Structure 1
């Protein structure tokens, strides 16, 4: 695959993925599931016994994707309804799903940002309007980074998820620019980079693990960290190792 072909002169705005782009998501989810399980032990002991570990909680949440495909874009609703199903199966009060989810959701917002996230967000947001585009249910304001963003568009609020071009186009509209004037940054090769390219944007693939690029159409640039992203935006001629192709 060729080296960076990004055209910084076209960029008038930036969109950013959240989970696994600004912070690692699975440590956060695992901790939130642990807090949920502890809460169930106190308030719904039969459910806590039936679903005795975080793996079981995650399994029923994944099962809900099949049971309620209409909620596929809404991770909060999927989690809430999976808790409701677990309560029902265990014979506990299904109404406990609401406070149980609130406990989970509050802990889910306690993310640990990558070390370079705050400096990178400050750097980018001083130069461009920035909009978060996420399939997840993180709240940038509760996380504590809302001041860097002009807007935040989540799949659950917008009604469709990445890779649908409409969510990218909505982000461009929120910043008053055309899609080709937007640079999208994210860690997922398909849902972020390729999807943004399909939506008419330039794309930077955040690839710290140096994985092989899985598609025919390459991203406009590949970086290993948010610090490298800032260097790229500051000096697009700076060399970065390109992602290898399959």
Structure 2
């Protein structure tokens, strides 16, 4: 059971917790493809080939394991490799990535996200904790967060306890006094439990819980969490 009185700070996942990620990525990839069609048409044709794209991503994963926690660098270097293979200028990788990245920051929040953030941020210091490359400032939510910790900068991603502890340290709070909120069963909920935090699993799709160790609370939307604190 969730111990509300023990909570001194909250860490929050971003993608698929505050907004759905795949519509955002699909839109960003389309913006990238449109830009490549104008500036690097051979690469655009390569990116339009699913098999070629899978091969490029597989090669990047195997050749650059050092980038596995840096989604931005992995995406940029994948574009660079595609440009090289297609015979276009690899220097176009930087502006091409910026087109993708700018669109990636244009997110559509879940309806419950903003009201919940307003309530939670008024009561607790909030820390964004993500394996992705969303920027809370560029997304427009920076005012709600005391700090942001991401795998790209930290070098280790969820569910490693070290990144949860880093998020706790960002607000000078011990992990046992932190509530982590996220949608991913393993990366968020189980990761938080193993890091010594309370865990709130955001289960928007009514999925079954697959692990023996259970979260402190399961939510169907963020408004339920906000209501718990409003009533306490």
TM-score band, normalised by shorter chain? over 0.9
TM-score by length of 2: 0.96
Give the number of aligned pairs: 232
SS of equivalent residue, structure 2 residue 17? coil
Distance 1:121 1:106 in 2: 23
Kept in 1: contact 2:46–2:86 (CA 8 A): yes
TM-score by length of 1: 0.91
Kept in 2: contact 1:33–1:57 (CA 8 A): no
Gaps of 5+ in 2: none
Q: Which residue does 2:134 correspond to in 1?
A: 138
SS of equivalent residue, structure 1 residue 73? coil
Q: Which residue does 2:224 correspond to in 1?
A: 228
Q: Which residue does 1:170 correspond to in 2?
A: 166
Deviations 1:119-144 (A, max 9, x none): 10000000100000000000000000
Q: Which residue does 1:68 correspond to in 2?
A: 64
Kept in 2: contact 1:37–1:54 (CA 8 A): no
Gaps of 5+ in 1: 237-246
The 5 A counterparts of 1:179-218 are 179-218=175-214
Q: Which residue does 1:82 correspond to in 2?
A: 78
Distance 1:98 1:29 in 2: 18
With over 3 angstroms needed to count, the CA separation of the structure-2 counterparts of 1:57 and 1:235, relative to structure 1, is farther
- Asked if 1:7 corresponds to 2:35, the answer is no
Greater helix content: 2
SS of equivalent residue, structure 2 residue 84? helix
Kept in 2: contact 1:84–1:95 (CA 8 A): yes
Distance 1:221 1:235 in 2: 16
SS of equivalent residue, structure 2 residue 148? strand
Distance 2:13 2:52 in 1: 28
Distance 1:57 1:188 in 2: 26
Distance 1:201 1:160 in 2: 18
SS of equivalent residue, structure 1 residue 133? strand
With over 3 angstroms needed to count, the CA separation of the structure-2 counterparts of 1:90 and 1:125, relative to structure 1, is same
Distance 2:55 2:223 in 1: 36
Q: How far did 1:53 drift?
A: 5.8
Distance 1:111 1:57 in 2: 24
Deviations 1:62-98 (A, max 9, x none): 5422331111100001100100111011011111101
Q: Which residue does 2:215 correspond to in 1?
A: 219
Runs of 4+ deviating beyond 4 Å: 53-59
Kept in 2: contact 1:37–1:53 (CA 8 A): no
Distance 2:132 2:77 in 1: 16
Distance 1:221 1:21 in 2: 15
